[in-house]
Amino acid sequence: MTKLLEIRDLKTQFFTSAGVVRAVDGITYDVAPGETVAVVGESGCGKSVSAMSILRLIPDPPGRIVAGSIMFDGKDLLALSEAEMREVRGRDIGMIFQEPMTSLNPVLTIERQITETLEEHLDVSKAAARQKALEMLNLVGISDPERRLKQYPHHLSGGMRQRVMIAMALACGPKLIIADEPTTALDVTIQAQILELMKELTRKLGVALIIITHNLGVVARYADRVNVMYAGRIIESGDAVQIYHNPKHPYTLALLRSVPRMDQARGQKLRPVSGQPPDLTKLDEGCAFRPRCDFATEQCARAAPALEEVEPGHISACWEKAKVGLVEAVG
Amino acid sequence: MWQYVFKRLLLMIPTVIGAAFVIFFLLRAMPGDVCELKLGGEGAYVDEAQITLCREQLGLDDPLAVQFADFVWGIATLDFGTSMITGRAITYEMGLRFELSLQVAIMATIVAIMISIPLGTLSAVYQNTWIDYIVRTVAIAGIAIPSFWLGILILLALLSISEAMTGTRWTPPLDYVPIWEDPVYNLSMLIWPAVATGYRYSAVATRMTRSSLLEVLREDYVRTARAKGLVEKIIINRHALKNALLPVVTVIGIEFAFLMGGLVVTEQVFNLNGLGNLLVQSVTSVDYTMTQGIVMVIVLVFVITNFFVDILYAWLDPRIRYS
């Protein structure tokens, strides 16, 4: 199958007074047309930076994409001029951000904020843009869209604002949507609604989706494929079933143990991942997870393991990956 | 929106009465007696009876409450009475000077806005480049240089440039003519003090524009605008500037009201007969009614300016409009 997005060995670094932060340290993954890919990891593991890198929205200075390639629909995004990149943003790739409260401009009407994308990318009249904005609001399930168009973001609840964000991202008919923690700031009930909506719309419109989250529940229900990130690298990748039921990396395992599961015995305690995420300015040649890892051996300090296949479509970067599953079966 | 405007208008009344109260009683707490000064000057002998008579004529022997009520009623009818020193109507004394001061303040504001918003925006957009450094240097200089000194420099420059170009020395005219009678003459007189004060004024506003815009440019919605693929010009003008202007509008409003009575030294340099001069004169001669009148006019300008600033706020920010 031809890929829509191919990220190869992407490295994004921040040059700060405290040193070079290797926020994204050589990640590689693909997204097929219409596929939903989840990128999972704890705060500060580089998942948002990797997403912002795709759109080249990393603030420079201090950030810079230092290596790798991002092929999107046959174009190398890293080789495009700024003007060509603007054509991709908003038209071919839509983005939904974490904070619906602050991601919409408080002084512009909903109409203005949806139509400006259309006017920028598609050669449409004002009336046609307005019509399209109405359709989009209908599509994302906002009632009374005529009235909503005239309103400002502060008139809308968090869930509605996120629907508006989705409408904006989908307005120009993109091939890919990047959703950076789209539900983190919302109530749990609203979270489910928004995720259902995104799943439904991307399926219906055939749009690929990269969903960035730290919520494994989201992953299980909505993703075709899961990339688990730790300290700027992908340390395990597989389809949702493989990751959920047969994790082959101690970090994935630890993450799964830290969230409640329906199939878990009652009264069993949750186990948080011990220790702190590493300082990304001070990574050595060894495995970044080893200070927190139950499986760590001497070899882990000598060299970081490469991603290797454990079963078809399932890769893991761990020297002890063979042991990980066994322990899970016991524990 | 109209409800908001109406509420703001109503709020002006207690503000003005409060200010009147403070001015009235502070003035009377000040040492010195207008009648002694007027009749005896510095240290001469004056008959006690004459002073009593003078105080009676000026209404200074009435109870304070009555005087205050008179004063507040005067404000409401825009009749501030007569000067205790010259005996002429205060509105007459202030008339032309008010016009002059108002015109200088408006012109200085226009100069300041025309300089500060473009420069502040450039400075923020090109943060830490040579453009930013130049703008910041110009702005710091504007804050550091007193406007009266800049005024002197401007006058000296006018003298030497006019001499070099035409052979005769040219100075701005000294007698005030309203702008509608002879605009060229009027502007050739007032443009210089407006530039001198406008530059300092713009320096504050430039720095405010810059810092406010820098803050807004880091907001999430600016990132959203970038992710939409909008061109930078639209991102700055539509998304960032409208949000960044709120504090700038505040600064401009306060400065404007300050210019109305605060230009004492600059008025001296340019030999302008403005409100600032009149205020200092009336304070030194303990002319209660005149001082009260001028201060109240300045207060009214403050209050009205603030009203317009608030309306502008509401126009810029819908969250204010609808709350």
Residues shown for chain A: 331
Task: Tell if the CB–CB gap between B238 and A168 is shorter than 8 Å.
Answer: no
Q: What was the pLDDT predicted at B274? A: 84
CA distances from A24 to A17, A184, A233, B123 (A): 18, 22, 6, 32
CB < 8 Å to A154, chain B: 318-319, 322
Round to whole Å and give the CA distance between B236 and B239. 6
The residue of chain A nearest to residue B318, with distances taken between CA atoms, is A107
**Candidates B221, B234, B318; nearest CB to A103:** B221
DSSP 8-class letter at A23: E
Q: What was the pLDDT predicted at A264? A: 66
Name the β-bridge partners of A179: A96, A211
Quote the tokens at residue B300: 């009214």
Residue numbers of A between 117 and 156 with CB closer than 8 Å to B: 117, 120-121, 152, 154-155
Weakly modelled stretches of chain B, pLDDT under 70: 40-44, 322-323
Token pair 């015995």 in the structure block, residue: A265
| Interface list for chain B against chain A, based on CB atoms closer than 8 Å | 219-221, 223-231, 234, 238-239, 242-243, 316-319, 322
Q: Please work out, in degrees rounded to the nearest 5, the angle formed at the alpha carbon of residue A113 by the alpha carbons of A110 and A114.
A: 90
Q: All domains of chain B, ordered by start, with CATH? A: 95-316 (1.10.3720.10)
Whether residue A210 lies within 8 A of chain B, CB to CB, comes out as no
| Alpha helices by DSSP H, chain A | 47-54, 82-88, 100-103, 110-121, 126-139, 145-150, 158-170, 188-205, 216-222, 240-245, 250-257, 298-302, 321-330
Name the β-bridge partners of A208: A176
Quote the tokens at residue B78: 């825009």
A74 Rama class: left (phi>0) / alpha (psi -120 to 50) / beta? left
Q: What was the pLDDT predicted at B122? A: 92
Q: What was the pLDDT predicted at A327? A: 46
Helix H or strand E encompassing B140: helix B130-144
**Candidates A89, A102, A106; nearest CB to B228:** A89
**Candidates A99, A102, A117; nearest CB to B228:** A117
**Candidates A57, A94, A154; nearest CB to B223:** A57
**Candidates A89, A103, A154; nearest CB to B229:** A89
A260 three-state secondary structure: coil
Round to whole Å and give the CA distance between B260 and B102. 6
Task: Tell if the CB–CB gap between B230 and A152 is shorter than 8 Å.
Answer: no
Task: Tell if the CB–CB gap between A89 and B317 is shorter than 8 Å.
Answer: no
Distance from CA of B242 to the nearest CA of A (A): 7
B133 three-state secondary structure: helix
Q: What was the pLDDT predicted at A249? A: 84
Task: Tell if the CB–CB gap between A91 and B221 is shorter than 8 Å.
Answer: no
Task: Tell if the CB–CB gap between B229 and A107 is shorter than 8 Å.
Answer: no
Whether residue A102 lies within 8 A of chain B, CB to CB, comes out as yes
CB < 8 Å to A102, chain B: 219-221
DSSP 8-class letter at B89: B
Quote the tokens at residue B30: 């000040």
Side chain identity, residue B175: D
Quote the tokens at residue B144: 């550091």
Exposure string of A266-276, with b = 16+ CB inside 10 Å and e = fewer, is eeeeeeebeee
Task: Tell if the CB–CB gap between B224 and A90 is shorter than 8 Å.
Answer: no
Distance from CA of A57 to the nearest CA of B (A): 7
Interface test with B, best of A107, A112, A121, A152 (most B CBs within 10 A): A107
Interface test with B, best of A105, A111, A151 (most B CBs within 10 A): A105
Task: Tell if the CB–CB gap between A120 and B221 is shorter than 8 Å.
Answer: no
Task: Tell if the CB–CB gap between B224 and A97 is shorter than 8 Å.
Answer: yes
Q: What was the pLDDT predicted at B212? A: 94
Of B298, B235, B64, B317, the closest CA to residue A120 belongs to: B235
Distance from CA of A105 to the nearest CA of B (A): 5
Residue numbers of A between 156 and 175 with CB closer than 8 Å to B: 165, 168
Of A66, A67, A59, A71, the closest CA to residue A29 belongs to: A71
Nearby residues of A96 by Cβ (< 8 Å), 6 or more positions away:
A162, A165, A166, A169, A177, A178, A179, A180, A182, A198
Of B7, B27, B5, the closest CA to residue B296 belongs to: B27
Task: Tell if the CB–CB gap between B228 and A152 is shorter than 8 Å.
Answer: no
Q: Are A316 and A236 in contact (CB under 8 A)?
A: yes
Q: What was the pLDDT predicted at B113? A: 92
CB < 8 Å to A99, chain B: 220
Q: Are B128 and B113 in contact (CB under 8 A)?
A: no
Q: What was the pLDDT predicted at B42? A: 61
For the entire predicted model, the pTM comes to: 0.81
Q: What was the pLDDT predicted at A1? A: 57
Q: Are B124 and B209 in contact (CB under 8 A)?
A: yes
Q: What is the pLDDT along chain A (331 residues), one digit of tens a residue?
A: 588 888 888 888 888 888 888 888 888 888 888 888 989 888 878 888 888 899 888 887 788 888 888 888 888 888 888 888 888 888 899 998 888 888 999 999 999 999 998 888 888 888 888 888 888 888 888 888 889 888 999 888 888 888 898 888 888 888 899 988 887 777 778 888 888 888 888 888 888 999 988 877 777 778 888 888 888 888 888 888 888 888 888 888 888 877 776 666 667 777 777 777 777 777 777 788 877 877 777 777 777 888 878 888 888 887 777 777 644 433 3
Task: Tell if the CB–CB gap between A107 and B243 is shorter than 8 Å.
Answer: yes
DSSP 8-class letter at A275: S
Nearby residues of B22 by Cβ (< 8 Å), 6 or more positions away:
none
Exposure string of A97-123, with b = 16+ CB inside 10 Å and e = fewer, is bbbbbbbbbbbbbbbbbbbbbbbbbee
Q: Please work out, in degrees rounded to the nearest 5, the angle formed at the alpha carbon of residue A86 by the alpha carbons of A85 and A92.
A: 80
Nearby residues of A192 by Cβ (< 8 Å), 6 or more positions away:
none
B120 three-state secondary structure: helix
ipTM, two decimals, is: 0.84
Helix H or strand E encompassing A8: strand A5-16
